[in-house]
Chain A
């Protein structure tokens, strides 16, 4: 017998953070950047493989990448941002998941409720990471996109 369909479940609803807390937005961004990075990693391993084939093969690879036009640097900029966010947020997740930091201790709930796992320490960590990553990403943008005349 076919399993009954669950209401609004699946890939897209799992990635939809609208209306939820900032940590849920972090989850979606962490997942999206992870997928971007693994795609880039696979392509990058194939690209650097050409180094072993000699300078002519490398020149051809670079020429093929340059033929993408502005998309080459914009793509690299997106990957740079993904790496920055995924790495920084990953450190926060390790602190949460492996060491139980930023989560607070069990308390006696008192109304109005405010879960300690989403408390001040966690928020400070999330926004510090976001701010730092944005700043570094903008700096990377100036470096990577300079040749395009955008910045």
Chain B
């Protein structure tokens, strides 16, 4: 895969992430009329996850893809592997799969 494709994915995930993350932060903010302790309660947290499942799913996907691609870029620049670049890419993809599966499991179980 050409590097341009991974950068386009990064750019698009960033744009989507800004919107869904803003939504997530607004749900935890005083604009909802709830105190911080109440927003972090089990009932409120699970209620949000159930009610806004698609938004949180999108948040999980874009945050993991964007964040771990950033880690890949930093590792690529810092380590600059000559022949083992494929190993770095594989590690990042594996980490993406791990975090996506953890988050998806949470969404399914809570939902």
Contact = CB atoms under 8 A, between A and B. Distances in A.
The short answer to whether A and B are in direct contact, CB under 8 Å, is yes
Q: How big is chain B's contact interface, by range?
A: 20 to 34
Contacts of A17: none
Contacts of A94: 11, 14-15
B71 interface: yes
Contacts of A80: 25
Interface residues of A, number: 29
Contacts of B106: 45, 48-49, 51-52
B42 A83 contact: no
A146 B109 CA distance: 34
Contact of B42 (A37, A42, A51, A98): A51
B103 A51 contact: no
Given A41-B63, A52-B109, A87 B68 contact: no
12 contacts: A11-B78, A41-B67, A45-B64, A45-B99, A45-B106, A51-B46, A52-B106, A52-B110, A94-B11, A94-B15, A98-B8, A143-B36
Interface of A: 11, 31, 34-35, 37-38, 41-42, 45-46, 48-49, 51-52, 55, 58-59, 62, 80, 83, 87, 90-91, 94, 97-98, 143-144, 147
